[in-house]
């Protein structure tokens, strides 16, 4: 049984269809990249997979005993207010609340785990700093550390490298790849960067009103649509 | 100075004054704890709207002659809090406009009902004390004091138990919901507790001045501190101190309790604001 199955899904806002005919599945250990143009519905798809919104039609099923609190999420834009007083540590620690039940405090183990996740994403030295005073790239890493804290099996990342300079973006992708390969975390990642998708992912889903491609990363590289997008991406650079 | 102290000790000889003093401080503490969440969630106006709803409910309770007003006012305010919080989240309904409507409607309706049906000989006095709080701390009834005491303790306990969850739901509700935290449930909890605090605070400062107890401590703390925990702790201390100072002044000078506390709040806020601008170095965790 797959971890996540998407069957005949249609995504729409107020009756206005964004994507239709979505059919794909994600198995444990997969690294799926979702690519497509701006406004093609990638973020909407992620939110639907998280059950933050309902699909207009079709069905999304969790399998393999996947629960909501096994999932970590890195939103594309967090609607965090500019004047919110919160330290990096407070934010990263809050991730484990999805498994803490009624317990009103953090255990030593949870604090340790938050520490580890900050170390992994390279923000440990910022632990006591105020979140809103960090640079965009640093904030992104903090949110990734938080996503890691919430995730035990599945990570959903919406443009994790957006707003990072190329080198920081590269580091971010390497980090995610490590999480996938070393820690066995299943990853679903939205990205603009088609070449990164091919380099790191095991599977690619290309959406644009209709899904244009779903299959392995190698297969995407061979496909017509993949070739077109790769060329276009090269042309942009 | 000596006369002031002797007046105070005279007052504090009555156990009743001592209790009222403690209750006043507890109420201030409760409002400041929730104030931070309210301000950060951009819900400060809900506090204002709810206090007017509570006034309307109180008017109805007075007119139909209910024994204990709180039994009517509390459920009505809690229900309105939950509904208003929902409306505020729904982008299609203009949340703030809805709240403004409900709030003036309850105010007008409440006054009208009182005017038409109240048997009281001193109507404007009654209305004034509901809007601006008891003129003297001694006018709180014994039942009020005990009810406030219990409710404040419940609010403080709930806040401590759900502190981390309140943080995460305030900071990023979408993330909380996405990772399996019942964000909707916690919003209802926050709304309920806010409603309780407002009904309690009505006894102390009256329905028009409640927002001050909610907003000033939070804004002052956010001016000086940058972690959620320090902001909560500072705003609690701020609120307790200003309430205590305000109550003492009110006793000594015979000024209205609510207005005095709020004035002290305003002055203390100005102080924090100035400190925040003068000492950027003071900004720390
Ligand atoms: N809250 C919303 N209400 C109505 N339409 C929306 C909303 N959010 C996104 N859309 C529309 O849905 C489409 C897909 O958006 P999105 O999923 O954010 O795209 P992507 O993440 O691929 O750039 C866009 O055309 C956008 O205009
Ligand atoms: Mg997007």
Same domain assignment for residues A132 and A32: no
pLDDT value of position B15: 78
Same domain membership, residue A148 and residue A160: no
Q: Output phi, psi for A23, to 5 deg.
A: -135, 110
**What range defines the domain where residue A82 resides?**
74-152
Using an 8 Å CB-CB cutoff, list chain B residues near A128: 227, 285
In a domain, A174, yes or no: no
Domain-located, residue A235: yes
**Which of A37, A39, A55, A189 to mutate for ligand 1's pocket (most ligand atoms within 8 Å of CB)?**
A39
Which segment of A7-21, B22-36, B43-57, B156-170 scores lowest on mean pLDDT? B43-57
**Burial class, A221, CB count within 10 angstroms (exposed 0-12 / middle 13-18 / buried 19+):** middle
| Higher-pLDDT residue of A206, A235 | A206
A53 φ/ψ angles, rounded to the nearest 5 degrees:
-140, 160
Length in residues, chain A: 237
Please identify which residue in the block is written with the tokens 């001694």: B138
Q: What is the pLDDT of residue A4?
A: 93
The Cα–Cα gap between B33 and A87 comes to 18
Do A10 and A56 reside in the same domain of the chain? yes
Q: Are residues A131 and A202 in the same domain?
A: no
Q: Which of A28-32, B20-24, B117-121 has the highest mean pLDDT?
A: A28-32
Cα-atom radius of gyration of chain B, to the nearest Å? Answer: 19
Give the pLDDT confidence score for residue B95 in this predicted structure: 62
Has residue B66 got a pLDDT over 80? no
Lowest mean pLDDT among A93-102, A113-122, B13-22, B107-116: B13-22
Task: Give the separation between CA A58 and CA A32, rounded to whole angstroms.
Answer: 20
**Would an 8 Å CB–CB cutoff place A104 in contact with chain B?**
yes
- Residues A45 and A161 placed together within one structural domain of the fold: yes
- Tell me, what's the pLDDT at A149? 93
The answer to whether residue A86 neighbours chain B at the CB level (below 8 Å) is: yes
Q: How many CB atoms lie within 10 A of CB B15?
A: 8
pLDDT(B155) > 80: yes
Query: Domain end: A127, A152, A177, which one?
Result: A152
Cα distance from A151 to chain B (closest Cα, Å)?
A: 8
Give yes or no: residues A120 and A217 share one domain.
no
- Could you tell me if A103 lies within 8 Å of chain B, comparing CB atoms? no
Report yes or no on A180 lying in a domain: no
Q: Dihedral sign for Cα B200, B204, B206, B209, please.
A: negative
A75 close contact with B: CB closer than 8 A: yes
Task: Determine what percent of chain B is predicted with pLDDT higher than 70.
Answer: 91
A160 and A135 share one domain: no
On the question of pLDDT at A96 being above 70, the answer is yes
Residue A184, SS3 per DSSP: coil
Half-sphere exposure of B173 toward its Cβ, with a 13 Å CA cutoff?
14
Q: Quick one: A135 exposed, middle or buried, by C-beta within 10 A (0-12, 13-18, 19+)?
A: exposed
A199: domain CATH number? 3.40.50.300
Q: What average pLDDT does range B108-113 have in this prediction? A: 89
Residues A100 and A146 in one domain: yes
CA distances from A35 to A24, A165, A168 (A): 14, 20, 20
The rounded mean pLDDT for chain A is: 88
Domain ranges for chain B: 2-282
Distance A158 CA to ligand 2 centre (A): 7
CA nearest to B208, candidates B110, B132, B284, B147 = B132
pLDDT averaged over chain B? 85
Phi first, then psi: give them for residue B212, nearest 5 degrees. Answer: -60, -45
What is the structure's pLDDT at A235? Answer: 61
Q: How far apart are CA B203 and CA B12, in angstroms?
A: 20
Same-domain check for residues A35 and A85 = no
User: Is 1.10.8.350 the CATH number for B2-282?
Assistant: no
The pTM assigned to this predicted structure is 0.89
- State mean pLDDT over B115-133: 76
Q: Which pLDDT score, from 0 to 100, does residue A78 have?
A: 64
3-state SS track over chain B: CHHHHHHHHHHHCCHHHHHHHHHHHHHHHHHHHHHHHHHHCCCHHHHHHHHHHHHHHHHHHHHCCCCCCHHHHHHHHHHHHHHHHHHHHCCCCCHHHHHHHHHHHHHHHHHHHHHHHCCCCCHHHHHHHHHHCCCCHHHCCHHHHHHHHHHHHHHHHHHHHCHHHHHHHHHCHHHHHHCCCCHHHHHHHHHHHHHHHHHHHHHHHCCCCHHHHHHHHHHHHHHHECCHHHHHHHHHHHHHHHHHHHHHHHHHHCCCHHHHHHHHHHHHHHHHHHHHHHCHHHCEC
Specify the 3-state DSSP secondary structure of A81: coil
DSSP lists the bridge partners of residue A87 as A130
Answer whether A187's CB lies under 8 Å from A174's CB.
no
**Mean pLDDT across B65-81:** 84
Question: Could you give the C-alpha distances from A12 to A9, A17, A49, A59, in angstroms and in order?
Answer: 10, 4, 14, 14
The binding-site residues of ligand 1, defined as CB within 6 angstroms of any ligand atom, are A 13, 18, 36, 38-44
**Least confident among A66-75, A76-85, A113-122, B111-120:** A76-85
Atom of ligand 1 nearest to the CA of A41: 17
Do the chains contact at B178 and A79, CB–CB below 8 Å?
Answer: no
For residue A233 the two structure tokens come to 């991406």
Tell me what pLDDT residue B138 has.
60
Instruction: Kindly give, in sequence order, each residue whose CB lies less than 8 Å from that of residue B265, ignoring residues fewer than 6 positions away.
Output: B212, B213, B216, B217, B242, B246
Rounded to whole angstroms, the Cα distance separating A160 from A75 reads 8
Residue A84, in any domain of the structure:
yes
Question: Among B178, B218, B229, which would you mutate to test the A interface (most chain A Cβ atoms within 10 Å of its Cβ)?
Answer: B178
Residue A176 within a domain: no
How much is the pLDDT for B166? 94
Confidence at A217, pLDDT banded by 50, 70, 90: confident
Confirm if B70 and B141 have CB atoms less than 8 A apart: no
pLDDT at B282 over 60: no
Q: Using pLDDT thresholds of 50, 70 and 90, give the confidence band for residue B285.
A: very low
Q: Name the domain count of chain A.
A: 2
Residue B40 gets the label, from left (phi > 0), alpha (psi -120 to 50) or beta, of alpha
Query: Based on the domain organization, do A194 and A207 belong to the same domain?
Result: yes
Three-class secondary structure of residue A79 per DSSP:
coil
Is residue A30 assigned to a domain? yes
A139 plus A91 within the same structural domain? yes
Across residues B177-205, what is the average pLDDT?
87
* Residue A187 vs residues A2, A3, A9, A80, A127: alpha-carbon distances, Å: 14, 11, 20, 24, 26
In a domain, A171, yes or no: no
Q: Higher-confidence residue: B138 or B160?
A: B160
Q: Are residues A147 and A118 part of one domain?
A: yes
pLDDT band at B129 (very low <50, low <70, confident <90, very high): confident
Which comes out higher in pLDDT, residue B201 or B119? B201
């Amino acid at each position: 049984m797959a971890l996540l199955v998407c069957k005949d899904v249609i995504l729409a806002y107020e009756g206005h269809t964004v994507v239709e005919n979505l059919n794909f599945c994600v198995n444990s250990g997969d690294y799926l990249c979702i690519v497509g143009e701006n406004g093609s519905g990638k973020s909407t798809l992620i939110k639907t997979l998280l059950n933050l919104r309902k699909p207009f039609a079709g069905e999304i099923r969790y399998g393999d005993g996947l629960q909501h609190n096994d999932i970590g999420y890195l939103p594309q834009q967090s609607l965090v207010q500019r004047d919110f007083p919160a330290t990096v540590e407070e934010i990263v620690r809050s991730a484990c609340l999805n498994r803490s039940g009624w317990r009103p405090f953090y255990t030593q183990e949870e604090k340790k785990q938050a520490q580890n996740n900050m170390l992994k994403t390279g923000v440990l030295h910022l632990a006591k700093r105020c979140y809103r005073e960090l640079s965009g790239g640093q904030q992104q890493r903090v949110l990734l550390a938080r996503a890691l804290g919430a995730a035990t099996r599945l990570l959903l990342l919406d443009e994790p490298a957006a707003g990072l300079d190329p080198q920081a973006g590269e580091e971010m992708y390497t980090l995610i790849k490590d999480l996938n390969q070393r820690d066995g975390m299943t990853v679903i990642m939205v990205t603009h960067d088609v070449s990164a998708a091919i380099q790191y992912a095991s599977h690619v889903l290309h959406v644009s009103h209709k899904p244009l491609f779903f299959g392995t990363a190698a297969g995407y590289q061979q496909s017509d649509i993949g070739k077109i997008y790769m060329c276009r991406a090269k042309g942009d650079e | 100075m000596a006369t002031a102290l002797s007046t105070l000790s005279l007052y504090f000889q009555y156990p009743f004054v001592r209790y009222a003093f403690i209750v006043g401080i507890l109420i201030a503490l409760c409002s400041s704890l929730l104030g931070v969440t309210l301000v950060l969630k951009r819900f400060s106006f809900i506090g204002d709207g709810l206090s007017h709803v509570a006034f309307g409910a109180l008017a109805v309770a007075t007119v139909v002659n209910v024994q204990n007003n709180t039994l009517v006012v509390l459920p009505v305010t809690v229900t309105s809090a939950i509904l208003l919080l929902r409306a505020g989240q729904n982008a299609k309904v203009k949340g703030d406009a809805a709240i403004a409507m409900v709030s003036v409607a309850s105010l007008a309706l409440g006054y009208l009902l009182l005017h038409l049906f109240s048997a009281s000989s001193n109507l404007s006095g009654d209305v004034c004390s509901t809007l601006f709080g008891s003129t003297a701390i001694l006018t709180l009834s014994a039942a009020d004091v005990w009810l406030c005491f219990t409710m404040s303790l419940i609010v403080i306990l709930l806040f401590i138990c759900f502190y981390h969850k309140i943080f995460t739901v305030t900071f990023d509700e979408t993330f909380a919901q996405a990772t399996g935290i019942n964000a909707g449930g916690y919003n209802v909890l926050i709304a309920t507790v806010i409603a309780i605090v407002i009904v309690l605070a009505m006894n102390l400062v009256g329905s028009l001045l409640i927002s001050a107890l909610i907003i000033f401590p939070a804004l002052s703390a956010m001016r000086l501190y940058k972690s959620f925990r320090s902001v909560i702790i500072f705003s609690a201390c701020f609120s307790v101190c200003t309430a205590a100072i305000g109550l003492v002044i009110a006793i000594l000078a015979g000024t209205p309790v609510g207005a005095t506390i709020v004035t002290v709040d305003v002055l203390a806020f100005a102080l924090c604001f100035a400190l925040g601008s003068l000492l950027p170095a003071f900004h720390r965790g």
